[in-house]
Amino acid sequence: MEKSESAVAKLAQAAQATDNTENDESELPKVFDRTHLDDPRFEDYSKLLKPRPGADFSRVFPPKICSWAPCGTYPSPFKSNPERFNLGLSFVSDEETVLVDIIGHVTQPTASREFLRAGPREFISFHPKSVKAAIVTCGGLCPGINSVVREIYNTLHHLYGVEEIYGIPFGYRGFYSPDLEYIRLTDHNVSSIHHQGGSYLGSSRGGFDLKKIVDAIEDNNFNQVYIIGGDGTQRGALKIHDEVVRRKLKVSVVGIPKTIDNDIALIDKSFGFDTAVEEAQRAIRSAVVESKSAQNGIGLVKLMGRSSGYIAMYATLASHDVDICLIPEVSFILEGSCGLLEYIRSLLKRKGHCVIVVAEGAGMDLLKDEVDMSKRDASGNIKMPDIGLFLKDRIIAWFTEQVRMEITLKYIDPTYMIRSIPANASDCLMCGLLAQSAVHSAMAGRGGFTIGVINTQYSIIPMHELSSRGRIKVDVNSRMWHRVLATTEQPDFRA
């Protein structure tokens, strides 16, 4: 008992000492001088947002459909029959919000944007029997697409009792192409699609024709449209929403962000990213085995990442076997004492082998003469030359012709293997919760929003908040990139 009282007394003394120095600026840790809010390292890594000029820097909510079209108010099916799924015990109100900015500064007041928290509402604006829903997937493939489609169907049909749910084939063009038919979704045809990679509905780039798409939505009486796709697709979804509002249609346009590169602003991560990083490990392990099994062996792995190096960065950190990680955000030179080639030679002399991971968008300044700005894919992306093949050829040529050193280089490109596999457990869970959150929010009468995870909470994000920000990139001043450098011990490959 005496020992316990003594411990309490010591804690009280410590607390008193803290109170006495609390207002003494000289006692503040010097670290705050180095991470002031103006320091880009603090802002970029913490995702701290600054308000745009004239923008409301507080609660940012998506519009309600009743603001432009007549809506009803109906009790949620979970309210009248809560025993069935117990969802009636977990309603979320419109008073619950999610903070975007959770890292503050000891010397300044903290302000944060707030988005609505996603989840089932007590009252809904669509009678389930009146709902006719459409689901469309656009852009490139990504693990988890089928999981999202299946869970949207299951939530609409099995939880809310919606009968008419259609899949739009092969992206935006599927809305209006006469040679493509809508797919009536049923328990039978979606029950096991989450075990398959790719998109059950089919996907494609391009095909965006605003008038034809909204005409099809209106002519077919769709009143909920779920659009799964990347940043370009979401910008298209915002245009569809704006046109729906202009025509005063009672239609909820819902976006679910999809990009395997994990480069969508605001959200913690996009579905499929964890699976991509996990699958990339197989390619890296193969490169390690190949490089160690040959004299002066080099394993070169190209991973996805046109504009950002998140997959390469996280795969490198997860593997602990990579010697060099090259991403689009960091330029590098090939030759010279500070160049990549000379460092590879030093690794071979020291270790006998070398493993390199390169994102597909890295080193484009070295290939600028080969980039044809007029050649673009259907989404408008510039068709980039293959940095993996370029590095392979240059490394072999340099060691053969200039160093006259025998090497064995194995080049591995797992791009299409990675993006076409089913989602892993982590992504499957995320896909299910994204889909459920999307349906709950649409049934509650919201429109023009995207569902995303912010600070681990599923949130209702107005579409314009994502569409106005563009793609994000790896912050090379962040702790995460510094962890990569500490793991690989690679130098700065710039003169």
- CA separation for the pair 91, 88 (Å, rounded): 6
**Per-residue CA distances from 439 to 126, 196, 227, 394 (Å):** 11, 23, 12, 51
β-bridge partners, 353 = 297
- Judged by average pLDDT, the poorest of 148-162, 228-242, 325-339, 365-379 is 365-379
**Mean pLDDT over each residue of the chain, to the nearest integer:** 88
pLDDT at residue 452, as a whole number: 97
Residue 52 has pLDDT above 70, yes or no: no
What is the fold of 65-270+423-467?
Answer: Rossmann fold (3.40.50)
- Judged by average pLDDT, the poorest of 171-185, 240-254, 357-371 is 357-371
What is the mean predicted confidence (pLDDT) over 453-459? 96
Whole-structure pTM over 0.75, yes or no? yes
pLDDT band at 338 (very low <50, low <70, confident <90, very high): very high
What percent of the chain is predicted at pLDDT more than 90?
76
CATH topology agreement for domains 65-270+423-467 and 276-421: yes
pLDDT band at 287 (very low <50, low <70, confident <90, very high): very high
pLDDT at residue 374, as a whole number: 58
Residue 448 has pLDDT above 50, yes or no: yes
pLDDT digits (tens, 9 = 90+) for 392-413: 999 999 999 999 999 999 999 9
CB 388 within 8 A of CB 312: no
pLDDT at residue 49, as a whole number: 44
Question: Which residue in 146, 137, 185, 140 sits closest to 165, CA to CA?
Answer: 185
Catalytic residue of the set 101, 231, 261, 263: 261
Is residue 261 annotated as a catalytic residue, yes or no? Answer: yes
pLDDT at residue 53, as a whole number: 44
What is the mean predicted confidence (pLDDT) over 172-182? 97
- CA separation for the pair 336, 491 (Å, rounded): 13
Q: How many CB atoms lie within 10 A of CB 116?
A: 24
What is the mean predicted confidence (pLDDT) over 375-386? 69
pLDDT band at 37 (very low <50, low <70, confident <90, very high): very low
**Per-residue CA distances from 265 to 68, 217, 239 (Å):** 28, 28, 19
pLDDT at residue 25, as a whole number: 40
Residue 14 has pLDDT above 50, yes or no: no
pLDDT at residue 376, as a whole number: 60
pLDDT at residue 4, as a whole number: 46
For the domain covering 276-421, report its CATH number. Answer: 3.40.50.460
pLDDT at residue 42, as a whole number: 40
Residue 372 has pLDDT above 70, yes or no: no
pLDDT at residue 85, as a whole number: 61
Residue 32 has pLDDT above 50, yes or no: no
Q: For residue 333, what are its two tokens?
A: 């030179």
Residue 48 has pLDDT above 70, yes or no: no
Phi, psi of 333 (to 5 degrees): -110, 160
- CA separation for the pair 458, 460 (Å, rounded): 7
Residue 1 has pLDDT above 50, yes or no: no
Domain boundaries, the chain: 65-270+423-467, 276-421
What is the mean predicted confidence (pLDDT) over 282-299? 98
Helix (H, G, I), strand (E, B) or coil at 135: strand
pLDDT at residue 467, as a whole number: 85
pLDDT at residue 84, as a whole number: 58
pLDDT at residue 409, as a whole number: 98
Pair type for strands 132-137 and 224-229: parallel
pLDDT band at 11 (very low <50, low <70, confident <90, very high): very low
**Per-residue CA distances from 374 to 361, 382, 462 (Å):** 18, 8, 33
Residue that the structure tokens 């194995």 belong to = 410
pLDDT digits (tens, 9 = 90+) for 97-137: 999 888 877 777 767 889 999 999 999 999 999 999 999 99
pLDDT band at 373 (very low <50, low <70, confident <90, very high): low
pLDDT digits (tens, 9 = 90+) for 295-327: 999 999 999 999 999 999 999 999 999 999 999
- CA separation for the pair 345, 363 (Å, rounded): 19
